[in-house]
C-alpha cells in the first residue's frame, strides 16, 4: 500500500518582476505600488518551496505528489518554483497554460514526475460577460489526465471569479464556473464512465455555497464540508473565516471495498510556517502583502490537502 498527499494552494500573486504590456501586472514590478523586486520574488519562491514540501507531513511522511496552484503569472515563475531548493531535489515538474485573465494570473499543476505520468492536458476556457455584455476574461480550468502508480486520474484545477464586486453580484459567475466543470466532467464520463476525478481550487465560495453544491451534484463527495468553523478556514477576511480552497473527489474514491485507489482524509495545512504568530491577526495566514504593505509572508491562503491510498 502507498499513501499520497494531493494538495491545492493559492500562492497569492506569484508574479515575475517584468511588466507585461498586455496584462494588468504593473503593481508587481519594481516601480509598481507593491515595489516587487527580484529580492522579494526570490524570498517568496524560497518560502513557498519549503511550505509545499511540508504540506500534509502530520498525516503522511512523503512529500505531496500533486499540488494544484493558483495566482501564478506565467511559466517562468513556475520554473523558478520547481527550481527552488526544496522542490528541485524532489523532481517536481509542472503543467501550465497562459490564461486570458486580465491580471495575468493562471492555474497550474505541480507534480513529482517519478510518481505521476502526465497523459494529456488542456486549458478549458470559461466564457463570461460583464453587465454591459462584453467579454469578462478570467482564469481557465486546467484539466490534466495522468497516471499515479498505474491508476488513471483526472485533475481539474480551478480559480473561480472573486467576490471583489460583491458576493451576490458575482455569484452568477462562480455558478457559471461550476457548470463549466460539470460539462468537463460529463465529457470525461462519456468515454470513461468510471473515471476517477479530483476537482480542486480556490472557488471563492464556501462548501455550502450554491456554486459548490451544484458542482458536486450526486456523483462527488466534498470532504471539506466539516472543516469550516468559526475558528478555522483557509482564508480570513475582516475576522471571518472562509473555506474557499477545496478538494472534491468523485464517489468511486469512497468505495469501502475492492478499491485500489481510495480517499482517506482531507485537512487544512496551518502549521506555524504559514501562520501569523502574534498581534491582531494572530492565527491568520501569513500573507506576502496586506494591501500595498509588504509583510514578507508566504500567502493569504492556507493550503488544503487530501490523503489517498493505492493498494
Of 92, 71, 93, 85, the closest CA to residue 43 belongs to 85
- Read off φ and ψ for residue 2, nearest 5 degrees: -120, 140
Q: CA angle at residue 233 from 69 to 302, to 5 degrees?
A: 35
Pairwise CA distance, residues 20 & 250, whole Å: 39
Give tens-digit pLDDT for 219-235. Answer: 999 999 999 999 999 99
What is the full DSSP assignment across 234-286?
A: SEEETTEEE--EEEEEEGGGG-SSS-SEEEEEEEE---GGGB--SSTTTTSB-
**Which segments within 43-182 are labelled E, that is strand?**
66-72, 92-96, 106-112, 116-124, 141-148, 151-159
Contact 203, 211 (CB under 8 A): yes
Give tens-digit pLDDT for 95-109. Answer: 999 999 999 999 999
Per-residue pLDDT of the chain (311 residues; tens, 9 = 90+): 999 999 999 999 999 999 999 899 999 999 999 999 999 999 999 999 999 999 999 999 999 999 999 999 999 999 999 999 999 999 999 999 999 999 999 999 999 999 999 999 999 999 998 878 889 999 999 999 999 999 999 999 999 999 988 999 999 999 999 999 999 999 999 999 999 999 999 999 999 999 999 999 889 999 999 999 999 999 999 999 999 999 999 999 999 999 999 999 999 999 999 999 999 899 999 999 999 999 999 999 999 999 999 99
Domains assigned to the chain: 2-113+200-310 (3.60.10)
- Write down the pLDDT at residue 218: 87
- Write down the pLDDT at residue 210: 97
Please state the pTM of the whole predicted model: 0.98
- Write down the pLDDT at residue 134: 87
Pairwise CA distance, residues 81 & 94, whole Å: 10
- Read off φ and ψ for residue 40, nearest 5 degrees: -70, -40
Pairwise CA distance, residues 178 & 242, whole Å: 18
- Write down the pLDDT at residue 144: 99
- Write down the pLDDT at residue 27: 96
Tell me how far the alpha carbon of residue 251 is from its chain's centroid: 21
- Write down the pLDDT at residue 260: 97
Of 240, 205, 245, the closest CA to residue 68 belongs to 245
Q: Return the H-helix or E-strand segment holding 199.
A: strand 197-202
Please report how many Cα atoms fall inside a 13 Å half-sphere around the Cα of residue 288, on the Cβ side: 24
Pairwise CA distance, residues 159 & 205, whole Å: 11
- Write down the pLDDT at residue 79: 98
Amino acid at each position: 500500500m502507498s499513501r499520497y498527499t494531493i494538495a491545492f494552494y493559492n500562492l497569492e500573486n506569484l508574479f515575475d518582476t517584468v511588466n507585461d504590456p498586455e496584462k494588468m501586472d504593473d503593481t508587481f514590478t519594481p516601480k509598481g505600488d507593491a515595489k516587487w523586486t527580484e529580492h522579494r520574488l526570490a524570498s517568496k519562491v524560497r518560502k513557498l518551496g519549503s511550505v509545499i514540501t511540508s504540506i500534509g507531513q502530520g498525516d503522511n511522511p512523503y512529500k505531496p505528489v500533486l499540488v494544484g496552484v493558483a495566482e501564478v503569472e506565467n511559466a517562468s515563475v513556475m520554473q523558478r518554483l520547481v527550481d527552488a531548493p526544496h522542490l528541485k531535489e524532489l523532481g517536481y515538474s509542472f503543467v501550465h497554460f497562459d490564461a486570458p485573465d486580465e491580471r495575468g494570473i493562471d492555474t497550474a499543476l505541480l507534480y513529482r514526475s517519478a510518481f505521476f505520468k502526465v497523459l494529456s492536458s488542456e486549458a478549458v476556457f470559461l466564457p463570461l460577460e460583464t453587465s454591459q455584455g462584453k467579454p469578462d476574461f478570467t482564469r481557465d480550468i486546467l484539466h490534466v489526465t495522468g497516471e499515479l502508480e498505474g491508476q488513471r486520474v483526472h485533475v481539474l484545477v480551478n480559480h473561480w471569479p472573486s467576490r471583489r464586486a460583491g458576493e451576490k453580484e458575482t455569484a452568477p459567475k462562480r455558478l457559471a464556473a461550476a457548470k463549466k466543470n460539470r460539462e468537463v466532467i460529463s465529457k470525461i464520463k462519456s468515454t470513461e464512465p468510471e473515471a476517477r476525478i479530483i476537482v480542486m481550487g480556490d472557488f471563492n465560495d464556501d462548501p455550502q455555497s450554491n456554486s459548490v453544491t451544484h458542482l458536486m451534484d450526486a456523483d462527488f463527495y466534498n470532504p471539506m464540508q466539516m472543516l469550516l468553523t468559526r475558528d478555522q478556514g483557509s482564508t480570513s477576511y475582516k475576522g471571518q473565516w472562509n473555506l474557499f480552497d477545496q478538494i472534491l473527489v468523485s464517489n468511486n474514491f469512497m468505495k469501502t471495498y475492492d478499491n485500489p485507489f481510495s480517499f482517506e482524509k482531507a485537512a487544512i495545512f496551518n502549521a506555524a510556517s504559514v501562520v501569523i504568530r502574534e498581534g491582531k491577526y494572530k492565527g491568520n495566514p501569513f500573507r506576502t502583502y496586506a494591501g500595498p504593505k509588504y509583510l514578507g509572508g508566504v500567502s493569504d491562503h492556507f493550503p488544503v490537502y487530501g490523503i489517498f491510498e493505492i493498494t
